[in-house]
Structure 1
Amino acid sequence: MSLRRPRHVTLLVALVATLALICCGGSASAILLGGLGGEEKAKTLSTSECGQGGPIDVNGELPTLPQYGPEQMRNAAAIIKVGSDLKLPPRAWVIAIATAMQESRLLNLGNLGKRNDHDSLGLFQQRPSAGWGTPGQVRDPVYASRKFYEKLRTVKNWENMSLTQAAQKVQRSAYPNAYAKHEPLATQIVNKLANGAANAVGKSVAMVCAAGGQVAASGWRIPLKATVGSGFRTPQRPTHQGVDLIVQRYTPIAVVASGVVSVVKCDEDHRGRRTCDVDGYPGKGGCGWMVEVVHANKVMTRYCHMVQHPFVKVGQQVTAGDIIGRVGTSGNSSGPHLHFEVHMGNDRTSGGAVNPADYMRRQGAPLGGDE
């Protein structure tokens, strides 16, 4: 016995088929918003996953990570609890955790003798001689965390700085760029110890999931609001190394996280031509006008098919939300959209590419116009 499909389901299928788009010279996409072909559906963040449960009990049983044991996670929980008590947004917690990871590996260090940096002590390696407090005070995780946050509050516009810039303003370290590499794991720790708070809007204490163009506490945001078209390595397009974000021509493209611009170019087509100031077409080859940015931990993001020369240059430092160009259809493209890729280890080849939809969701910045 066959079952007749309900009319509303038929209409929904027809709508998806209508919105599917041929782009980047590939076959028709069967991917829309959360659906990624045969891949796992993108998880929708609920309010409980954006910090609304608050920090977990410092004195209770705490989760651990391979890199950090119970003592270190308890210190991390104390840092988060102090930040919450001071009514600081979760972005501050991520900055504080990453700073302590660099300074002490989240261990409450005493005097290390010859290995000591002057009289530095505790989680943040604060120096009593520099006015941070007595030796006993700076070795108290609660006191040390409060002093860190108090100094952070005095830094103008810290909420919009990269993590390493904000941390350096507080710490004045001899290694000012060392903090950035800890940002991904610090984000993971905050999520584990504060019910997904790194997925919340970074500047807000309301613990609302980041959406649209808002920057999450992780330091990441979406490049633009758009319908998700062709997905990552679908059965129809197994060599498609990113996702296509379908949006109008000239829509501004924002960089998704702080980093350094590593590539700005007009990508060659299959015939070795650099013709990016005209519309492309399927089969032409190349990314058209494109930008690559290297972020903390050697994560690289790629932005393709821009309508004109990008607004940034190689070596330029950028912060999440900075506009780097505008949407176009240059290169191997059948219509205006942003082709967006994420690569690990700054590996520009297909070997370094990962699913951008999955990766961005984990950063609290899910792709899609309605997120």
Structure 2
Amino acid sequence: MSVPRPRRIVVLVALVATLTLLCCGGSITAVLLGGLTDGDNNKLNAALGCGKGGPVDPDSKLPRVRQYGAAQIRNAAVIINVGSDLKMPPRAWVIAVATAMQESRLTNLGNLGSRNDHDSLGLFQQRPSAGWGTPEQIMDPVYASTKFYNKLKTVEGWENMPLTEAAQRVQISAYPDAYAKHEPIATQIVNELADGAASAVGNSISMVCASGGQIAASGWTNPVKAAVGSGFRTAGRPTHQGVDLIVGRYTPIAAAASGIVSKVKCDEDHRGRQTCNVDGYPGKGGCGWMVEIQSAGDVMTRYCHMVQRPFVKEGQEVTAGDIIGRVGTSGNSSGPHLHFEVHLNNDRSSAGAIDPVPFMRQQGAPLGGEG
């Protein structure tokens, strides 16, 4: 695909109203992209996703997402719109925004003098000497974004790669693992500017919402497609640090996100025994056969009560959707199900645990009957 001539982006309309809307069966709060125009006052494509449109407030300002201000979010909007224009799927938008977050903090950086990394410029710190274009071209956010997406297209299998690997294949950075930490906030930015687009199927350009077994543009998927039984820290089970997904014995369990397997074990019961190859029972204690995976943003997921030794090993890299084991009822369990936990800050303790239901809904991969 030929690269379009650089366009000077003028933000005429920024944020629209914040609404609660239904996407993929679960309610999410999204901030929609009102509109961008080029220098000829022609409206660029708004990158709309699985959600429903809402009223436009032309006098409002672009949102602030954590440490990012209006100018930075405008640059993210340009990146998203270019991806939409090029018919790249929402997963590509998340990768591109996360890359620009690492390279420039979403700031269109000029020559920084002695602090410059060689001759790197712009949102993606592209180098004229490496063939990315002239300095003037690279400083145009539309041109720079187009070059990034066109290079990403040449990476075979990028749609199913962990974000940091796909970004590194484009950027060839001296810090190849640095992109991963930006994935959660990049997903949030894409959702807020693009109407929940991170809930769309990762490699689809038709904005079909992800459902059971599909990878959302956020990079997350359901570990199993099953109804939620016992919930997170209920009145009856205040120390229940996850949710129980009720599904039959031997059902395959998928990694909910790409990451590194940090723990594989037969969890001891209350009597200190490691008896995981038999059915458990209520009050036995322990998680039975279990796996923990550390993913981008220091998020840890835990999978318990497997029927047999898991299929993965500690230190193994897994991709979202990879089968890591099968459902069982080992450990402290009254019947076949997957006990699923989400922990922040890679904190394995109960202090790091959060309710997986709203978390997974936010990732565009809702649990249970929501999808």
Q: TM-score interval w.r.t. the shorter chain?
A: 0.7 to 0.9
Residue matched to 2:203 = 203
Q: Is the 8 A contact 1:253 1:323 kept in 2?
A: yes
Aligned equivalents of 1:53 and 1:150: distance in 2?
Answer: 28
Q: Is the 8 A contact 2:266 2:287 kept in 1?
A: yes
Q: Is the 8 A contact 1:56 1:77 kept in 2?
A: no
Residue type at the aligned position of 2:179: Y
Alignment of 1:38-117 (within 5 A): 44-45=22-23, 55-58=33-36, 61-117=61-117
Structure 1 segments unaligned to the other structure (5+ residues)? 1-41
Residue matched to 2:167 = 167
1:315 paired with 2:315, answer yes
Residue matched to 2:176 = 176
Q: Is the 8 A contact 1:220 1:364 kept in 2?
A: yes
Alignment of 1:98-137 (within 5 A): 98-137=98-137
Deviation at 1:297, TM superposition (A): 1.4
Q: Is the 8 A contact 1:48 1:196 kept in 2?
A: no
Residue matched to 2:189 = 189
Residue matched to 1:235 = 235
Residue matched to 1:354 = 354
Residue type at the aligned position of 2:189: I
1:221 paired with 2:199, answer no
Indicate the SS of the match to 1:57: strand
Deviation at 1:44, TM superposition (A): 4.9
| TM-score scaled by length of structure 1 | 0.86
Aligned equivalents of 1:48 and 1:121: distance in 2?
Answer: 41
Farther off after superposition, 203-212 or 242-251: 203-212
Aligned length in residues:
329
Aligned equivalents of 1:110 and 1:48: distance in 2?
Answer: 42
Deviation at 1:63, TM superposition (A): 1.7
Aligned equivalents of 2:242 and 2:330: distance in 1?
Answer: 16
Aligned equivalents of 2:326 and 2:66: distance in 1?
Answer: 41
Residue type at the aligned position of 1:360: M
Structure 1 residues 64 and 369, CA gap change in structure 2 (3 angstroms): same
Runs (4 or more) in structure 1 with deviation over 6 Å come to 47-50
Aligned equivalents of 2:31 and 2:63: distance in 1?
Answer: 16
Residue type at the aligned position of 1:58: L
Indicate the SS of the match to 1:58: strand
Aligned equivalents of 1:58 and 1:92: distance in 2?
Answer: 20
Structure 1 residues 55 and 82, CA gap change in structure 2 (3 angstroms): farther
Structure 1 residues 292 and 260, CA gap change in structure 2 (3 angstroms): same
Residue matched to 2:48 = none
- Residue by residue over 1:167-220, the C-alpha shift from the partner in whole angstroms, topping out at 9 and shown as x without a partner, is 000000000000000000000000111111111111111112111111111000
Deviation at 1:54, TM superposition (A): 8.2
RMSD: 1.9
Residue matched to 1:334 = 334
Structure 1 residues 263 and 47, CA gap change in structure 2 (3 angstroms): closer
Aligned equivalents of 1:188 and 1:369: distance in 2?
Answer: 23
Structure 1 residues 169 and 326, CA gap change in structure 2 (3 angstroms): same
Indicate the SS of the match to 2:274: coil
1:247 paired with 2:247, answer yes
Farther off after superposition, 343-352 or 95-104: 343-352
- Residue by residue over 1:222-273, the C-alpha shift from the partner in whole angstroms, topping out at 9 and shown as x without a partner, is 0011111000001111110000000000000000001000000000000000
- Residue by residue over 1:253-308, the C-alpha shift from the partner in whole angstroms, topping out at 9 and shown as x without a partner, is 00000100000000000000000000000100000000000001110000000000
Q: Is the 8 A contact 2:24 2:370 kept in 1?
A: no
Aligned equivalents of 1:284 and 1:126: distance in 2?
Answer: 57
* Larger RCO (alpha carbons 8 Å, 6+ apart): 1
Alignment of 1:235-314 (within 5 A): 235-314=235-314
Q: Is the 8 A contact 1:47 1:208 kept in 2?
A: no
Aligned equivalents of 1:300 and 1:48: distance in 2?
Answer: 23
| TM-score scaled by length of structure 2 | 0.86
Q: Is the 8 A contact 1:191 1:198 kept in 2?
A: yes
Residue matched to 2:41 = none
- Residue by residue over 1:298-332, the C-alpha shift from the partner in whole angstroms, topping out at 9 and shown as x without a partner, is 10000000000000000001110000000000000
Q: Is the 8 A contact 2:24 2:199 kept in 1?
A: no
Aligned equivalents of 1:370 and 1:356: distance in 2?
Answer: 13
Deviation at 1:64, TM superposition (A): 1.8
